[in-house]
Structure formats: C-alpha cells, structure tokens
Structure 1
C-alpha cells in the first residue's frame, strides 16, 4: 500500500504510452493543406525548417505561408533565398503587422497566416525550430481524418539544451493526463497541445474563433485546443517523434527565459503552483533522500520502500522516453534533480511575473 501512488502513476504512464496515437507512415492526402510558419528573428533557424516544409511529399495540394513578424536579423531575406532555390512558387511570404493592444505577437501572427490560407482544407502551424520528415504532413493529416479529430498535436522529438527539464513536458501529460478521456470529454479544462506543430481542420478552426479568440494568451496552443472543445470539436495528442524534431532552446539561459514567460500561466495561481510543486517533490525528489536517511538510521525496510518508489519514478521516465523519442539513460536516473530544477523554474516565473519583467523576443509578456 505504501507504494500505491507510484505504482498507479507509472502504470498510467504505461497505459497512455500504449494508447498514444501514432501517425501512419507513407500516407498521402488529396486535401489542400496550408503550412503556416510564423517567424520573428529566426535567421539562425529558419533554413532547415523551411527546407523540410518544401521537401514534403504525399501532399500534392500544398501551400507554404510564411509571415515575417517584424524581424530585424534578415529573416525575410533568408526565406526568399531558400524559396527561390527551391522554385519558390509554393512559398507565400507575408509581412506581418504589429499586434494590437491586448494581443500577443505569436497568436496575432498565426491569425494573419490563417487569414491568408482561408481556402485550405487543413491548417498546419509549425514553429521555426521544428524540422519535419518528408512525409510528416501527409501522415498527420491522414491521422486527423481517420481518427475523427479536429485538432491534432503531434508532439515532436525534443533536442537541444535542457536534458534535465525538457523531457518533463512529455512525461507530465503521459503520467497525469488520461489521453482517451481527454479526447472524448467535452470539458475544455481537460486539454493539452504543443504549439510547436499543430494540425487543425480549417472549418473547425474558424468555428472556434481561431487565434483571434486566444490572442491575449501566452499559452495560445492549449487555449486554442480548449476553444475547439468549446465549439464542439475534438482534440488529440500524437507521437510525432518519428516525423518531427524540435530544437526548442540552444542554451540554458534561453530555456530559463522560455519557461519563465509561460510557467506562471500554466498553474493559474501561486498557491496552485506551490501545491503541484510540493506534490511532485514529495513523489519524485524525496525518495532518494529517504533511501539515504533510512539506510543511515538502520531502517532497511523503509529504505527498500523508498528505493522502490525512486525506481518506479525512473521507470515512468523511461516509458515516456520510449514513447516520445527521448533519451532514457542516464537522463531518467536524474528524475529527482529534474523535478527540483522544475520547481525552481516555476518559482522564478512567478517572481518575474510579479516584477513585470517577463519578455520574449523583445516584446513584453
């Protein structure tokens, strides 16, 4: 009984890993798909991303819309060069307008892209740090249709800085979110999505109000998923690792700033955030400390229970990594340290929010 919480959570991770939707390989679609790429100062990243979009196969009716959102680093020039080298009639480069008062930059940019692609059947939003495999879009659209889903979030394999923290993204929803219940439930609160790559039926997008309905939200991806649910649509997560990679951050400083801008919003209030962090610390950071304490005090039975709790926590990370294309070893062994660092990032996010010091890409949050 003492190990029941760890056993239940790790078992839930395993069940979710089995149920996680997986896009088919070598798919084709005859629908008109619009790939939508918002860019702001992405000169260092846009080339591999755009080249991967141009290399898509199995989608004969494909248009790529790129929006330059006030870049000052020559991003638009690079887009033109890549498009011209690839016979760029498939690339439409737009110049974005500044977000109006009360709206944030990314959702405003995404809405402008969606407006330009009004005649498409399916919209696929892609971030500049994502590189898609050649058949990724056709596979994702096929899964969208065969599963009867309105918004699909194929979660890419995450690379780059942050091996201690980044895997917690996938692990958290595999461990705590009942995936099939999320798909079936109409409750907007039961929703998850990753904005790095979203695939959505255009009609469902319009019905939900599009990004204009979530223009003030820092977590516009999750709020868009909730808006789709409110309008009667269905959402789903999928294993996108075989189809896409995402290099979210190149340095620890970038990661810390990226998490700071959004973690405060993930929990709603400092009290709720504190409760979640304390619970995670008790479940996943305290067991190895308890092992050492009980071993030193001669309580071998209690030490064995604590060791099993730690092992179950590590097992959950291993399962998550296997399902989402992450690293299993030795990263999973550092689960207690990952949780401790995550708790610090949450506290830092709320502190910077209180000070009014949150910014992203040169704009206040």
Structure 2
C-alpha cells in the first residue's frame, strides 16, 4: 500500500521520459528561401542587447532575412547601442506611445509585425537571447516540418536561478502531453515561451496578432491559444542547441521578473493554490512523511522526483547534477515566488521596465 503512494511519481517520471523522446529539435545547417523577418522589441536593454544583435547579424541559410528593432521608449541609450553595434544592417524603429488598453510588450510586438513588410515568417526574439548562426533557418525549417502556425523553441537558460528556472521546461515535459497538445484544437492545451517565437505570417494574422492579446501579461501563451482558436496548430521544441537566454543575473531580478507574471499563470488564486499544493504533496510532503515509517520508500519517492528533473534537464540543455538533487527545494522556492507574486499584486506593487503591471 505504501508503495502505491509512489505510483503517481513513477507515472510522471515516465511521462517526462516519453515527452523527452518526442521533443522536436531544430536541425543544424538548414536553409530556407522564404522571406523571414526577425523582430526584436527593446526597452532599456542597453546593457545586454549587443550579443543578441551580433548573433542576429551572423545568421546564415536565410538569404531573404530582415531584422527589425523597435526602441520602446528606452531611457538608457538602447538605440545608441543598436546603432553602434549594427549600423544600418538592421532597421531601427522608434516605438509609438503606449495606448490605453495595451500592455507594453504586445504593443511593441504588434508594431514590429506591422513593419515586417511581406515576410512569410515572423521570428520574435527577446534581447536576452543569443542565437547560433543557423538558428533562424533551423527554426523556420521545423515550423514548416511540423505544419504548425506557431513554433516555440525553448532556449537554454543560463544565468541566475539554476534551481527555479529549469522548472519551466520540467513543468511542460512532465504534465503536458506534447503530441496531444499539437493535435488538440483546445486553446487551453497550450504552452509557449516568448523569448523565441516563430510564426507563419498568415497564421499570425488569422489569430489577430498581438492585438488579440493586448491586455495579457503572459502574451506568449495567450498568442498560442489565439492561434489555436483560429484553427492553427502550435508546437514546442527544444532550442537549447541553437539558443541561450540569460534572463536574470541575480535572485532579486528573478524574483521581480517572476513576480510580475506568476499571478497570471494559473487563472486564479485558487488555481495557483491547487497547483502549489499538488506539487508540494508530490515532491516534498510525500518523501518527508514516509521517511519515519518507510525510509526506503521515502528514498524511492525522492529519487523519482529527481529522475524526472534529470530527464528534463538532459533533454533541454540544462545542468543535470547537482541541481536535480535539490528538486524538492526548487518546488518550495517556486511556491514562495507564486505567493509573493499574488501578495505584491494585491498591494499594487508590481511593475516592469518602469510600467505598472
């Protein structure tokens, strides 16, 4: 009977392994003759945009490539850095003032999409992403090969947050049936990461573009759902071999970054509480509760959680050990960050890049 307690953990670890085997990956040395527009929204990114720009300028296998950069009201000289690094090799645009009813990033992305001319494919990239030279060509090739309207290749996460950050990939590898998600028309069955998104231009238009998600904090997931609602398909991929993303350089940055959006990730406070309770019961409470009465089974429960984390890290370019050994601690920290996000929102203390959230 006690061993049955470990059955959910075993099934989840097995599901993680199955998803890892099915995970799509852009191939290297791909090429495309399609017209591709890379779209880079910037707001106060002077300190870290240069590596991203250099990687975009080094792309190969895409002869019909244009790079559009939007300076969205920066006050730190971001536009000057863009000119110094890229010169006239990118098209630098000045963003319009933020209209009522829009959030900052959807507005910036919509402007870029409108400026992309007759591009067949739109590639949205964040300033903290650095792409390998064949990343764009590989992603476009995979977009077409998967017959998706939206492809989300997750970069390799570097920088601060080695315990918490990998939970992003771990969560959808563990709980989301990848092939089922691709086949299902249900908008609720969707995931995406806004650091690097690749979209068929026609599918983007049918979904309403970023105008359809203008009020959303998690505009990436909302856009994936909009693509599904309009009849399109979405696909997730491991982009760790072709892209890195340095989201945060300190715990404080990570907490503030997660704080602005975690409250919106679960639909409601009750939904967030249910998810956190489930994760704590599975990966923290179960091993601890079993330890006094069945230490061997407690160890098995702990190792099953670690195994899922190891499989996820190995499949998405993360550091497998020793990080995976602290998986229960990562779950506790994640729960804390969710609670902190709701607390700060309730007290109107959330902001990002100088704008209230």
- Residues in 2 aligned to 1:184 and 1:212: alpha-carbon distance in whole angstroms: 25
* Partner in structure 1 of residue 343 of structure 2: 351
Identify the match of residue 11 of structure 1 among 9, 14, 17. Answer: 14
Q: Give the superposition deviation at 1:37.
A: 0.2
Q: Secondary structure at the match of 2:345?
A: helix
Q: Is the 8 A contact 1:35 1:126 kept in 2?
A: yes
Q: Secondary structure at the match of 1:29?
A: coil
Residue 42, structure 1, aligned to residue 34, structure 2: no
- Write out aligned runs for 1:55-204 (5 A): 55-84=58-87, 88-89=88-89, 91-204=90-203
Q: Is the 8 A contact 1:290 1:303 kept in 2?
A: no
Q: Is the 8 A contact 1:35 1:124 kept in 2?
A: yes
Q: Secondary structure at the match of 1:2?
A: helix
Q: Give the superposition deviation at 1:178.
A: 0.4
Q: Is the 8 A contact 2:15 2:173 kept in 1?
A: yes
Q: Is the 8 A contact 1:287 1:307 kept in 2?
A: no
* Partner in structure 2 of residue 2 of structure 1: 5
Q: Secondary structure at the match of 1:42?
A: coil
- Residues in 2 aligned to 1:287 and 1:332: alpha-carbon distance in whole angstroms: 17
Q: Give the superposition deviation at 1:291.
A: 5.0
Residue 236, structure 1, aligned to residue 235, structure 2: yes
- Residues in 2 aligned to 1:159 and 1:97: alpha-carbon distance in whole angstroms: 32
Q: Give the superposition deviation at 1:306.
A: 1.5
Q: Is the 8 A contact 2:146 2:235 kept in 1?
A: no
Q: Which runs of 5+ in 2 are unaligned?
A: none
Q: Is the 8 A contact 1:125 1:197 kept in 2?
A: yes
* Partner in structure 2 of residue 275 of structure 1: 274
Q: Give the superposition deviation at 1:24.
A: 1.3
Q: Give the superposition deviation at 1:356.
A: 1.2
Q: Secondary structure at the match of 2:261?
A: helix
Residue 333, structure 1, aligned to residue 336, structure 2: no
- Residues in 2 aligned to 1:28 and 1:272: alpha-carbon distance in whole angstroms: 43
- Residues in 2 aligned to 1:334 and 1:7: alpha-carbon distance in whole angstroms: 18
Q: Which runs of 5+ in 1 are unaligned?
A: none
Residue 262, structure 1, aligned to residue 261, structure 2: yes
Normalised by the size of structure 1, how large is the TM-score?
0.96
Superimposed CA distance per residue, residues 177-197 of structure 1 (whole angstroms, 9 cap, x where no aligned partner): 000010000000000000000
Runs of 4+ deviating beyond 4 Å: none
- Residues in 2 aligned to 1:2 and 1:161: alpha-carbon distance in whole angstroms: 34
Deviates more, 1:222-231 or 1:96-105: 96-105
- Residues in 2 aligned to 1:288 and 1:97: alpha-carbon distance in whole angstroms: 53
- Residues in 1 aligned to 2:284 and 2:23: alpha-carbon distance in whole angstroms: 27
* Partner in structure 1 of residue 354 of structure 2: 362
Q: Secondary structure at the match of 2:61?
A: coil
* Partner in structure 1 of residue 24 of structure 2: 21
Q: Secondary structure at the match of 2:260?
A: helix
Q: Give the superposition deviation at 1:164.
A: 1.4
Q: Secondary structure at the match of 1:125?
A: strand
- Residues in 2 aligned to 1:345 and 1:141: alpha-carbon distance in whole angstroms: 35
- Residues in 2 aligned to 1:2 and 1:174: alpha-carbon distance in whole angstroms: 22
Q: Is the 8 A contact 1:286 1:336 kept in 2?
A: no
- Residues in 2 aligned to 1:193 and 1:146: alpha-carbon distance in whole angstroms: 18
Q: Give the superposition deviation at 1:335.
A: 0.4
Q: Is the 8 A contact 2:26 2:138 kept in 1?
A: yes
* Partner in structure 1 of residue 214 of structure 2: 215
- Residues in 2 aligned to 1:329 and 1:157: alpha-carbon distance in whole angstroms: 16
**Cα RMSD over matched residues?**
0.9
Q: Secondary structure at the match of 1:189?
A: coil
Q: Secondary structure at the match of 2:228?
A: helix
